């Protein structure tokens, strides 16, 4: 009898998790029907995520299951699944694109709609905090992707596993993996990106900037850099830093960065 009780408890726990997954999918479907006119987003582990991918620059897709457009890093020129192959249409695709020398995805090149921006690598890492967020490989309206659900408020976002856009082949790995850009640079050739498939979800720092990936925007300033002070009169500059606190060799010519002064004060700059 004791063994039976244990089995029943495990069964009830499994059913409870399944119910939560069903509820999360239902919420995503409801968002698909109601959020097209105005995207308000949902908060997951302290970060406000859009319910839908970015489509053409400055717009979201109509439905949560839609892939949207694919972007090279620090570029607002998008590529869709219907675009002809670069090798045959003589397009302006830049196969050696390096992000135009930027150290972060600049505001001027951000394809996100007004009030939204490309997430940082830290934003994606919060989405992968298994103590606070559940990850499930699932299917929504016939589209395979990843469902991420806040364990406290049960808010969810569905990210389509839309693959990547290859300059000579077109879309590859549809329904096999999802790849989404972060705004965080690693070096002159690579930047952070979010990757997931049917077994895992990770954040990597080594995405080739010339690759074309999806964008899922976040709202507001989840990195906390708005908290910097601006009392810098008569102070001397001691260094320039990106939004993740990494020291830069010189003052950036574009993007968002932080200046530190010898009086201990800091100031956020945007170019």
90 with 26, same domain?
yes
| pLDDT score, position 82 | 72
Task: Please provide the DSSP assignment of 228-268 as one string.
Answer: -----TTPPEEEEE-TTSPEESS--SSSEEEEEETTS-EEE
52 with 181, same domain?
yes
Q: Could you tell me if 244 and 184 are in contact, meaning their C-beta atoms sit under 8 angstroms apart?
A: yes
| pLDDT score, position 258 | 79
76 with 201, same domain?
yes
Tell me if residue 3 falls in helix, strand or coil.
helix
149 with 251, same domain?
no
Final residue in a domain of this structure, among 187, 202, 219: 219
- Domain carrying residue 243: 225-270
Q: What is the total count of domains within the chain? A: 2
10-residue stretch averages of pLDDT, the chain, 271 residues long: 39 52 52 54 96 95 93 91 62 81 92 95 96 96 96 96 84 94 94 96 94 94 41 72 72 78 70 67
54 with 112, same domain?
yes
- Please state, as a whole number, how many other Cβ atoms lie within 10 Å of the Cβ of residue 231: 11
CA 33 to chain centre: 22
Q: Could you tell me if 193 and 180 are in contact, meaning their C-beta atoms sit under 8 angstroms apart?
A: yes
- Please state, as a whole number, how many other Cβ atoms lie within 10 Å of the Cβ of residue 190: 18
| pLDDT score, position 124 | 97
CA separation for the pair 268, 13 (Å, rounded): 47
Q: Could you tell me if 48 and 218 are in contact, meaning their C-beta atoms sit under 8 angstroms apart?
A: yes
181 with 247, same domain?
no
Stated pTM of the model? 0.69
169 with 258, same domain?
no
115 with 211, same domain?
yes
120 with 184, same domain?
yes
| pLDDT score, position 47 | 96
């Amino acid at each position: 009898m004791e063994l039976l009780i244990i089995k029943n408890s495990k069964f009830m726990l499994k059913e409870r998790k399944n119910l939560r997954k069903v509820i999360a999918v239902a919420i995503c479907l409801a968002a698909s029907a109601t959020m097209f006119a105005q995207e308000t987003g949902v908060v997951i582990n302290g970060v406000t995520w859009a319910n839908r991918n970015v489509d053409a620059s400055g717009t979201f897709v109509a439905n949560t299951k839609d892939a949207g457009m694919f972007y090279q890093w620090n570029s607002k020129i998008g590529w869709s699944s219907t675009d002809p192959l670069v090798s045959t249409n003589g397009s302006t695709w830049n196969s050696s694109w390096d992000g135009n020398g930027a150290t972060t995805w600049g505001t001027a090149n951000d394809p996100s709609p007004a009030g939204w921006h490309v997430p940082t690598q830290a934003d994606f890492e919060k989405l992968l905090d298994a103590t606070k967020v559940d990850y499930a490989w699932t299917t929504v309206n016939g589209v395979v992707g990843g469902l991420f659900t806040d364990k406290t408020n049960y808010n969810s976002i569905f990210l389509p596993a839309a693959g990547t856009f290859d300059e000579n082949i077109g879309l590859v790995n549809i329904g096999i993996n999802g790849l989404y850009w972060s705004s965080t640079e690693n070096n002159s050739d690579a930047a952070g990106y979010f990757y997931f498939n049917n077994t895992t979800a990770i954040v990597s720092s080594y995405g080739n900037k010339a690759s074309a990936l999806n964008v899922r925007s976040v709202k507001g300033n989840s990195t906390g850099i708005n908290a910097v002070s601006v009392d810098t009169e008569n102070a001397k500059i001691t260094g320039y830093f990106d939004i993740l606190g990494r020291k830069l060799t010189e003052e950036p010519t574009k993007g968002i960065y932080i200046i530190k002064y010898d009086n201990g004060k800091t100031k956020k700059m945007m170019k």
